[in-house]
Structure 1
Amino acid sequence: MEAKKVWFVTGASKGLGLTLVKKLLQNGYRVVATTRDMQSLIEEVGQVSGMFLPLEVSLTDNSDVKTAIEKSIAHFGKIDVVVNNAGYGQLGTLEELTDEEARANFDVNVFGALNVIRNAMPYLRSQRSGNIFNISSVGGLFGSFAGWGVYCSTKFAMAGFTEALAEEAKEFGIKVSVVYPGYFRTDFLNKGSLSLPKQPIQDYKAARQSEQAHLENINGNQPNDPDKAADVLISISKEENPPVHLLLGKDAFDLLQSKINTITEDAEQWKEYTLSTAF
């Protein structure tokens, strides 16, 4: 019966989402895959079948997401695993990004995922089972990257609401994990996938250097294999007690250790002030 689980994967036409969809189908799972580019997804994976349901969905439109969930239930009868994978990288310092650019990144990366959760939860609650994987980033662990502040804040937000959701959902037998991938060799850093600031300020040398490094040096040389990430997600979905926090990649693990050390050092150095506020 394990191979008959139904997975609902957003952002499925490229990157980790596409790799996961292909891996799931190879392993006999039934898959709903959402995308903004239906033709590309069909070319990569195939037409609608008894195993596969591609859907063109605007995740920022709650009613469109609701319809997609309803179509999924009508096609497969249930949903077992939800993967909130859709999202994009927005480069730019906090000063130079416009309100429109910042809000657009939150609309997709945060509110799009919340729309999926809001509409999937009634079905998961009614069946008293399910898994939800919210795909954050190492940028949701560690925000000290010049020019990545808005993007990192969307991924910090995902980590925060995932922790709350894990508590809210556990009484219904629903298991929730936030996933922090490190650098994986996908098209995430391609110029077509990464949004650059419309009004760059050249004074921000560190941000410009980071932008150049990601586009020209890191892209194509990422140390992690998306195929292996898909294997991990499938394995974790079978665990009786999966983690709320799941790191993917040695680079993610190392950044977590760096963050722990930084916070611990600050806390110890300024402990006298911290403890001085009691009555």
Structure 2
Amino acid sequence: METNNVWLVTGASKGIGLSLVKKLLASGHSVAATSRNAQSLIDAIGAPAANFLPLEVNLADNNSVLTAVEKSIAQFGHLDVVVNNAGYGQIGTLEELSDMESRENFDVNVFGTLNVIRNVMPQLRKQQKGHIFNIASIGGYHGGFPGWGIYLATKFAVAGLTESLAAEIKEFGVNATVVYPGYFRTDFLSKGSVGRPARPIEAYTAARKAEQAHINEINHQQPNDPEKAADVLIAISQEANPPVHLFLGKDAYDLVQDKQNIVNKDVEQYKNYTFSTAY
């Protein structure tokens, strides 16, 4: 890709998204950045400029996303890299969370990502190049976290749709990568970025302990640096053959090994049942 690319980054007012946008602008790239509140982008990054387009977008509204993509192409002429970074965590066991709480998490984390993909692909297909990064979570690979089931389900969905997307768009010269970050020192676990169940059931002691650990102990003590995550995304965007799967953080690496060991153990222990279904 060219040295100076046009990036579209969602969820850009904080966390990894904010670090990424700042680095991109400092390096001479052009950026269309989205947030639920455009003023938050201006406060965090700066006023609109020839190379910076802050956009207020409701990702769950396809028309809002379409308008943002059209404005981005109108200003910059094309798109090179799309980063679906926006999302939020929803704490709560599967029994506790209401249908509305569950669906709202899917609306942003999954359907918001789909809305962006649907609306950027005509441009990427037309130009026969581009790269889509979908930010999942290590929780989209390893689901063994009590009280996080709905959030993890959204991230498993992002991982699955990205694998399919990569296969679908390869013929157009467009790449797709699902990113699995471990714990990064952002405001992800703070109020406004994480939802808690409206009707908690105290019988779920493991879920309550995990919730308190995340809010009171892990929050702002995460081992990974969002600035370094931004550096990796920029570097991967310049790879000729980028990976479909990208894990960020040693904690993510360790959880991959743990998940694979668990699966391999189950596969081997019960393979007689697995093979028993053949005619």
TM-score band w.r.t. shorter chain: over 0.9
| Structure 2 residue runs without a partner (length 5+) | none
Number of positions where the alignment pairs a residue of Structure 1 with one of Structure 2: 279
Q: How does 1:97-246 map to 2 (within 5 A)?
A: 97-246=97-246
Question: Partner amino acid for 1:187?
Answer: D
- The two structures have a TM-score, normalised by structure 2, of 0.99
After the TM superposition, which of the residue ranges 206-215 and 189-198 deviates more from structure 2?
189-198
Distance 1:27 1:133 in 2: 19
Shift of 1:47: 1.4
Secondary structure at the counterpart of residue 3 of structure 1: coil
Question: Partner amino acid for 1:179?
Answer: V
Shift of 1:64: 0.9
CA contact (8 A) 1:191 1:215 kept: no
Distance 1:175 1:145 in 2: 31
Distance 2:193 2:57 in 1: 18
Match of 1:4 in 2: 4
Shift of 1:2: 2.8
Match of 1:63 in 2: 63
Secondary structure at the counterpart of residue 183 of structure 1: coil
Question: Partner amino acid for 1:108?
Answer: V
Shift of 1:38: 1.2
CA contact (8 A) 1:9 1:82 kept: yes
After the TM superposition, which of the residue ranges 230-239 and 41-50 deviates more from structure 2?
41-50
Distance 1:205 1:146 in 2: 9
Match of 1:27 in 2: 27
Show CA shifts across 1:73-130 (max 9, x none).
0000001000000000000000000000000000000000000000000000000000
Show CA shifts across 1:5-52 (max 9, x none).
100000011111111100111111000000002111101111111110
Residues 1:80 and 2:80 aligned together: yes
- The two structures have a TM-score, normalised by structure 1, of 0.99
Distance 1:256 1:46 in 2: 38
Shift of 1:3: 3.3
CA RMSD of aligned residues (A): 0.7
Match of 2:260 in 1: 260
Question: Partner amino acid for 1:123?
Answer: Q
Question: Partner amino acid for 1:151?
Answer: Y
Distance 2:225 2:2 in 1: 25
Question: Partner amino acid for 1:250?
Answer: K
Distance 2:172 2:228 in 1: 30
Secondary structure at the counterpart of residue 207 of structure 1: helix
Distance 1:7 1:94 in 2: 36
CA contact (8 A) 1:132 1:177 kept: yes
| Structure 1 residue runs without a partner (length 5+) | none
Distance 1:60 1:146 in 2: 27
